């Protein structure tokens, strides 16, 4: 990885276990980036080492390491991955990434290449859609964090200050909001709560910079820049780029509510921006074709009149010359390379065409009327018009795909065939991406089948076919991911079928189908908010389990709201019960609000589950041992957890997992009392 301005460092190189650190390749406000070699694999890497002042205490360092490990699981073709996380010999957190030596987007001039800008934006929005679906917000999208690999693909880098749902929403240092103020959303600049829409604002700023070559706001210092983002109106684009203005007005809206709802919606808006070609003038061959098409529609009587006018004009030109024309070679007696008959070569060896003064009277009209467009000319012109009108795959017999297929049959070597096939393929690609984003299943099926028919003609060039596979494949994968997150089995299966039809690689199709088939069938029921939960596989009925046990703080809110008396942790006959009573609020050891609650009976758990379910309309309960298999451990102090499995007429319940008091993997305990080493987590019936 690279992309930061290189700078010589006079400080000693850090000791990073397992790596040989070579030199400094970048400096940032929170970190230093070094070039190094991973000794076990012999590969070159970039090693990001956090500055001591960035993570000043052990809590923040551990949080950083946990976040880095979370980000390392973001496996996406347009996200720079993390190889490994660790501590330097001096105890500073670091992580290793690929070393990308092709630079960042801020080092490229893209002002004359809007198509490349679109490609980069598509890649970034695909990456952010993937990260946001997993609860990760980047919070520092900027030119220096968009790098290029050896294939020149753009990759989003440096989730170093990324934010996941469930953690604190403000990360500040000496009162300044973290992030690059040149790209920072207004709410982030003010240090307020942020969500994924802050990333979309930054993408808008970056898009402006790529298109225009400069930032939308300019200031001499970070504070002034932040103020402009919060107060100044969105600037206006120059006339040549005015067709992008509506996109930026929404992408860079001051209020998050007025921005795009998510990356998929922003991508959809990007696809709707008209593609304006550079001022190169029309293709001369297309102009001639259109002129000829219009000429053959003129009535024959008009041709006769036109021939007479031409004859009169030619007569005036040859016999009515002024004296100054004498001897200039303008008359027929000085003509060289006279046109040859229609079936013979011209004087210069090229095929000639008869002119009006070389024909018998009335022959000009006959010749023009007898030279209509070829069938392929007509069909390709028709296909282009149908693309402009949006008739890509329907109605039958009057759409761009049908016209293109017929044109290939009529003349597979026509010089305009490849350009028109590319235009049709790109239009079908963009329409398919929109249909995916809008969940238009019938439209998508027709578009995909039509695109396959167009590509089967062999007229679509490799670059256009690759663009089709990449763009449509990314859109399908992003939509499938959203379906999995929402436990939408039908849509996930439909996306697997769409990927197969679209020609997505077989491995990807298999993975999409396997993930979809593992989802339970909710038959249209809304699963609700599944943040912090995992959908369980192979259960008798659809269930989602919380990944963490119920906390002491959660239980305290329940106890306060219901006035429920605490259950004692001691045996009824215990003398200690009188001397030192224990309950969930006083378990006998120090706990914080985020620690798992203990000292609760099964009856307490069931009362909590009913109270919790009344708040969102779902049904919660304890999981069985089978249902809870594969869930992660609670972490921190080792605890067992109550399970729904019971014995002895349910007077006793199972507690699963070893604890700090017992090494047993499963115990049968009295259900009507609490234990200081037993907590609980809930499952939701979907």
> Binding site for ATP, residues?
48
Taking only Cα atoms into account, the Rg of the chain, rounded to an integer number of angstroms, comes to: 35
What tokens does 261 get? 């709802």
Tell me how crowded residue 152 is: count the other CB atoms within 10 A of its CB.
Answer: 9
Whole-angstrom CA distances from 422 to 198, 357, 430, 466, 664 are: 36, 43, 12, 11, 67
Relative orientation angle of helices 462-485 and 417-437, to the nearest 10 degrees: 0
Task: Tell me the three state secondary structure of residue 479.
Answer: helix
Q: Count Cα neighbours of 206 within 13 Å in the Cβ-side half-sphere.
A: 28
The full DSSP string for 231-281 is HSPPPPPPGGGGGGHHHHHHHT-SSGGGS-SSHHHHHHHHHHS--PPPS--
> If residue 478 lies in a helix (H) or strand (E), which one and from where to where?
helix 462-485
Beta-strand runs (E) in 407-461: none
* Residues annotated in a binding site: 48
SS3 sequence of 97-142: EECCCCCEHHHCCCCCCHHHHHHHHHHHHHHHHHHHHCCEECCCCC
> If residue 31 lies in a helix (H) or strand (E), which one and from where to where?
strand 31-38
Closest among 476, 478, 473 to 504, alpha carbons compared: 473
Rounded CA gap, 537 and 577, in Å?
Answer: 43
411 classed as catalytic: no
Q: Of 90, 140, 283, 443, which residue is the catalytic one?
A: 140
Residue 346 φ then ψ, to 5°: -80, 175
Burial 603-612 (b: 16+ CB within 10 A, else e): ebbbbbbebb
- Nearest 10 degrees: CA dihedral of 503, 504, 508, 510? -20
Q: Mind telling me the catalytic residues? A: 140
């Amino acid at each position: 990885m690279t992309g930061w301005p290189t700078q010589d460092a006079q400080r000693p190189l850090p000791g990073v276990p397992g790596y040989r650190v070579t030199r400094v390749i970048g400096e940032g406000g929170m970190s230093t980036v070094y070039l190094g070699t991973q000794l076990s694999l012999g590969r070159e890497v970039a090693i990001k080492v956090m500055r001591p002042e960035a993570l000043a205490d052990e809590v923040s360092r551990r949080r950083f390491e946990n976040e880095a490990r979370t980000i390392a699981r973001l496996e996406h073709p347009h996200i720079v991955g993390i190889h490994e996380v660790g501590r330097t010999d001096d105890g500073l957190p670091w992580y290793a990434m690929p070393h990308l030596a092709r630079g960042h987007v801020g080092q490229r001039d893209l002002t004359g290449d809007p198509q490349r800008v679109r490609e980069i934006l598509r890649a970034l929005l695909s990456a952010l859609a993937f990260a946001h679906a997993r609860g990760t917000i980047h919070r520092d999208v900027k030119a220096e964090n968009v790098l290029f690999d050896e294939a020149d693909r753009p990759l989003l880098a440096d989730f170093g200050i990324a934010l996941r749902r469930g953690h604190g929403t403000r990360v500040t240092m000496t009162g300044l909001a973290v992030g690059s103020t040149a790209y920072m959303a207004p709410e982030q600049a003010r240090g307020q709560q942020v969500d994924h829409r802050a990333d979309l604002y930054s993408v808008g700023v970056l898009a402006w910079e790529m298109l225009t070559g400069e930032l939308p706001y300019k200031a001499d210092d970070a504070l002034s820049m932040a103020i402009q983002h919060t107060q100044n109106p969105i600037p206006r684009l120059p006339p040549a780029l005015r067709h992008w203005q509506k996109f930026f007005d929404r992408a860079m809206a001051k209020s998050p509510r007025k921005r795009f709802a998510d990356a998929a919606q922003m991508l959809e808006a990007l696809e709707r921006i008209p593609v304006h070609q550079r001022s190169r003038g029309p293709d001369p061959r297309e102009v001639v074709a259109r002129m000829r098409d219009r000429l053959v529609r003129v009535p024959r009587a008009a041709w006769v009149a036109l021939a007479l006018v031409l004859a009169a004009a030619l007569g005036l030109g040859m016999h009515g010359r002024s004296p100054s024309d004498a001897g200039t070679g303008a008359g027929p007696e000085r003509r060289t390379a006279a046109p040859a008959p229609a079936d013979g070569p011209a004087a210069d060896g090229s095929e000639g065409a008869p002119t009006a003064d070389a024909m018998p009277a009335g022959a000009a009209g006959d010749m023009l009327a007898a030279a209509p467009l070829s069938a392929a000319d007509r069909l390709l012109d028709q296909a282009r018009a149908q693309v402009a009108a949006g008739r890509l795959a329907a109605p039958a017999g009057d759409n761009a795909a049908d016209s293109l297929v017929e044109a290939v049959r009529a003349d597979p070597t026509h010089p305009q065939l490849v350009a028109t096939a590319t235009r049709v393929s790109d239009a079908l690609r963009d329409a398919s991406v929109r249909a995916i984003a809008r969940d238009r299943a019938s439209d998508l099926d027709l578009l995909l089948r039509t695109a396959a028919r167009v590509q089967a003609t062999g007229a679509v060039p490799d670059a256009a076919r690759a663009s089709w596979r990449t763009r449509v494949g990314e859109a399908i994968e992003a939509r499938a991911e959203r379906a999995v997150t929402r436990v939408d089995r039908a849509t996930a299966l439909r996306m697997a079928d769409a990927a197969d039809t679209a020609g997505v690689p077989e491995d990807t199709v298999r993975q999409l189908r396997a993930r979809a088939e593992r989802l339970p069938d909710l038959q249209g029921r809304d699963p609700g908010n599944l943040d912090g939960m995992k959908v369980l596989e192979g259960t008798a009925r659809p269930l989602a389990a919380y990944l963490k046990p119920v906390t002491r703080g959660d239980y305290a809110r329940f106890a306060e709201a219901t006035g429920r008396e605490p259950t004692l942790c001691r045996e009824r006959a215990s003398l200690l019960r009188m001397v030192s009573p224990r309950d969930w609020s006083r378990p006998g050891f120090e706990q914080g609000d985020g620690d798992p609650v203990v000292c609760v009976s099964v009856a307490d758990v069931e009362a909590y589950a009913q109270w919790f379910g009344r708040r969102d309309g779902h049904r919660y309960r304890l999981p069985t041992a089978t249902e809870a298999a594969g869930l992660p451990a609670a972490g921190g102090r080792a605890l067992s957890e109550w399970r729904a499995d019971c014995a002895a007429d349910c007077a006793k319940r199972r507690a699963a997992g070893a604890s700090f008091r017992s090494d047993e993997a499963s115990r049968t305990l009295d259900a009507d009392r609490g234990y200081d080493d037993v907590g609980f987590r809930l499952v939701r019936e979907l």
